[in-house]
Amino acid sequence: MSTKRRLSVSVDAEVADAGQRAVDAGSAPTLSAWVNDALHARAARDRRLLALDEFLDDYEREFGAFDDAELAAIERRAQAGAAVVRGRAPGSSSGTAA
């Protein structure tokens, strides 16, 4: 069981309203729970980014820094594998998703 700590924070009104809408819609039991879930998600994201930074630092120490051509190739592969949710795929001439 986790220990809870009461906090007093200020948030943007739009964010507080979004949290209250989630409670009203039944997708969160309380505003505190909604905020707690958001903080958990942010903490997990920060841990993943830190781990990625550490991995890349280790990789570059062992194999050397990525050069511009390698970074461009990585970006092209990432874009080619990305799913288009809205709009046009990069390089697409039609108005429909690829």
What are the tens digits of pLDDT across the range 40-66?
999 999 999 999 999 999 999 999 999
pLDDT at residue 28 greater than cutoff 90: yes
Percent of the chain scoring above 90 in pLDDT: 80
pTM exceeds 0.75 for this model? no
Mean pLDDT of 67-86: 91
- Estimate the crossing angle of helix 13-24 against helix 31-63, to 10 degrees: 120
Eight-class DSSP state of 78? H
pLDDT at residue 32 greater than cutoff 70: yes
